[in-house]
């Protein structure tokens, strides 16, 4: 059996949640320091400037860490973020007090762990899958038909 690198999907979900929370905090700060929508930020005190820098840094650092972690495990950041946002929408709609859960357990229909299914769903598509490894030519069934 081939050894594969696996990871815990919950960690990527937690990192995405941290980023969304940082973005929400920054959005609230910006709303409080704009006289009207579309206006420049009104930062009058040193504390306002420090708070702005803190929110900006927290937002950019959590995003960078999230994307780096996704690249490390070959997950698509957009797919992970879409999953987390969908979980949050479901949680908000159902008025749950806890986050919607990730699939777990064994799927008898597909004969695999449900976390493996989630990892496969999040994985970045292989760009070389449309080409033969031996010759490098494109596989005939992957060529798109031109509309006449």
Dump pLDDT digits (tens) for 44-86.
889 988 999 999 999 999 999 999 999 998 888 998 998 888 8
Q: pLDDT band at residue 1, thresholds of 50, 70 and 90?
A: very low
Is position 43 within any domain?
yes
What tens digit of pLDDT does each residue of 26-48 get? 999 988 888 888 888 888 889 98
Inform me whether the pLDDT recorded for 2 exceeds 50: no
Looking at the domain assignment, is residue 135 inside a domain? no
What integer is the mean pLDDT of 7-33?
A: 91
Please list the alpha-helical segments (H only) found in the chain: 9-32, 46-72, 77-94, 114-122
Task: For residues 103 and 114, give the distance between their C-alpha atoms in angstroms, rounded to a whole number.
Answer: 6
Distance CA 68, CA 82 (A): 17
Residue 139 within any structural domain of the chain: no
Contact 11, 102 (CB under 8 A): no
Domain that holds residue 21: 9-124
Q: Tell me how far apart the alpha carbons of residues 82 and 101 are, in angstroms, rounded to a whole number.
A: 15
**Structural domain count of the chain:** 1
How does DSSP assign 98-118, residue by residue? SPPPPP-SEETTTTEEHHHHH
Question: Does 35 reside within a domain?
Answer: yes
Residue 148 lies in a domain: no
Within a domain: 52: yes
Average pLDDT, the chain: 79
Euclidean distance between CA atoms 30 and 3, whole angstroms: 48
How many residues in the chain?
148
- Domain contains 20: yes
Question: Would you give the DSSP letter of residue 131?
Answer: B
Higher-scoring residue by pLDDT: 80, 100: 80
Domain assignment present for 147: no
């Amino acid at each position: 059996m081939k050894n594969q690198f696996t990871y815990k999907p919950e960690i990527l979900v937690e990192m995405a949640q941290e980023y969304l929370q940082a973005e929400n905090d920054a959005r609230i700060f910006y709303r409080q320091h704009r006289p009207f929508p579309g206006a420049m930020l009104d930062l009058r005190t040193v504390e306002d400037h420090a708070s702005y820098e803190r929110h900006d840094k927290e937002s950019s650092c959590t995003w960078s860490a999230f994307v780096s972690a996704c690249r490390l495990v070959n997950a698509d950041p957009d797919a992970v973020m879409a999953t987390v946002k969908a979980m949050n929408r479901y949680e908000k709609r159902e008025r749950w007090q806890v986050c919607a859960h990730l699939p777990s357990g064994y799927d008898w229909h597909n004969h695999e762990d449900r976390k493996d299914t989630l990892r496969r769903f999040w994985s970045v598509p292989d760009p070389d899958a449309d080409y033969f490894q031996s010759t490098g030519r494109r596989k005939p069934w992957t060529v798109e038909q031109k509309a006449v």
